[in-house]
Structure 1
Amino acid sequence: MMKILYVFPHPDDESFGPAPAIAAQRRRGNEVYLLTLTKGEATKQRFRLGVDKKKMGEIRYKEMQCVEKVLDLNGMKVCDLPDDGLKELDPHKIESVIRDHVERIEPDILVTYAVHGISGFEDHLVSHAVVKSVYCDLKREGAPYPRRLAFFTRFSEDESGGKFNLSSSKLKEIDCWVEASKEDYQKFEDALDCYETYQEVIEESNVKEEVGYRISFEIFQEDFDPPLEVLDDQLEN
């Protein structure tokens, strides 16, 4: 049994793509944890709802509690760093938040966004950089965890990026394809349904049709050809 910690900047990042893999990992008996750096309070949906950022953050946190149950997470922590403002923070402050959680969980595998952030949102790019920095610091210090750093990513043969100009990794860069079952995929759809205030965005993004049963990951400083089928395969002690 492995411990896997996902670190993302916003509510719904865990559900917009990696959720089928998370469900598959839980089904296989792994412990899966989620750390979200912000409450996602800056979303434009707050204008439609007529609420301020504080109230929007509270709403999104409650929606995440629904996701925690649906995906059967072993633990979830939602921080209150500024949504859409991570680039203005001293990166050491963000790294400290992440490191404290990593030292508490002691995960075997740490997961965040690939370098392109898929959507290109600045908070996604910052998250990639700070999580990688924390991982490298711990490795240099000889910490026994995490033993692997993986990047959730996207692969598409459509190089245009589609309607939302999404970025993809190259096929040769993908080191692991996690295969989801029908039950895993249903949990992904149920997790998205938890975000009641975000259904308009979910429908516009067409994410339920875009995400398939095979979820792709890059693995930092490791190269697997053929790709792994589970993130914890060939994990050295």
Structure 2
Amino acid sequence: MNILYIYPHPDDESFGPAHVMSCQKRLGHEVHLLTLTRGGATKQRHKYGYSVEEMGRIRNREMFPVEKVLGLSGMTVLDLPDNALKEMDPREIERIVERHIESVQPQVVVTYPVHGISGFHDHLITHAVVKRVFADMKERRAWLRRLAFITLKEEDALKSPHFKLSGSTGDEIDCIVTVEECDIANNLKALDCYATFQETIEKSGIRNMVGRQAVFEIFQENHTPPLSDLFEGL
């Protein structure tokens, strides 16, 4: 099977589904990643005295080893305006996302849930754009079957030591994927690739939050009990 993850920033994949991506690739699936921006507007740039453009180039380079660590089938990093997707005509972003989905032809697409986990507006816009494109394309492309949102259990979101996070209730969770220790190790290695972002990574406590299970909502599907695989039933 073929799966495409779509996120706005470098490291979004490593803060989220990197262990699942590692697991899916290890099991023989095609795993692709589309990142919409280079992430240059991060406040971390001030620590190094970098401009937005310089920080974007550096964070882009930091992503290259992530592709190797996770064994991705393909990775594309665009240069849309970081921290400013809200200023773009959403139709422009939709056209870009649609072209990429057409090129990859995944059965499953994954992005942020409606709350964006952190609530950051780039996350929320990415959710809305991907959902809009999926809903339109699913009517025209038989190979496009499922849209999923990686999320957190509501009780786990409340455990974050430094950041206010949102999660999903038990009733909203449609899939729980269990990974192996090697996949967790690959997730931690992927986080290590972001040398300029280590301060934020440590502050977030994300290393202690990467566990054997990852939870997903599935758009317009309701599974009780939850599925154990994002491809189950397709």
TM-score interval for Structure 1 and Structure 2 normalised by the shorter chain: over 0.9
TM-score (norm 2): 0.97
C-alpha displacement of 1:47: 0.7
TM-superposition CA deviations, 1:169-213 (whole Å, max 9, x none)? 111111111111000000000000000000000000000102211
Partner of 2:192: 193
**Which one of 121, 144, 147 corresponds to residue 146 of structure 1?**
144
Aligned residue in 2 for 1:173? 172
- Does 2:24 correspond to 1:25? yes
Q: Deviations over 1:71-112 (max 9, x none)?
A: 000001001110000011100000011000000000010110
Structure 1 residues not aligned, in runs of 5+: none
Q: Shift of residue 53 of structure 1?
A: 1.0
Q: CA deviation at 1:145?
A: 3.1
Q: Is the 8 A contact 1:118 1:153 kept in 2?
A: yes
The structural deviation recorded for 1:158 is 5.3
Residue 39 of structure 1 contacts residue 58 of structure 1 at CA under 8 Å; is this kept in 2? yes
Q: Deviation at 1:160?
A: 4.2
> Following TM superposition, by how much is the alpha carbon of 1:38 offset from its aligned partner in structure 2, in angstroms?
0.3
Give secondary structure in 2 for the equivalent of 1:102.
helix
Q: Runs of 4 or more off by more than 4 Å in structure 1?
A: 158-161
Query: Percent of counterpart pairs with the same letter?
Result: 53
State how far apart, in whole Å, the 2-side matches of 1:203 and 1:161 are.
15
Aligned CA distance change for structure 1 residues 151 and 159 (closer, same or farther; 3 Å)? closer
Question: Could you state the TM-score of these two structures normalised by the residue count of structure 1?
Answer: 0.96
Question: Bigger shift: 224-233 or 160-169?
Answer: 160-169
The residue number in structure 1 matching 2:125 is 126
Residue 112 of structure 1: aligned partner: 111
What RMSD over aligned residues (CA atoms) do the two structures have, in Å? 1.1
Q: Which residue of 1 aligns with 2:2?
A: 3
1:208-227 aligned within 5 A: 208-227=207-226
> Which residue does the alignment assign to 2:181?
182
Q: For structure 2, list consecutive stretches of 5 or more residues without a partner in the other structure.
A: none
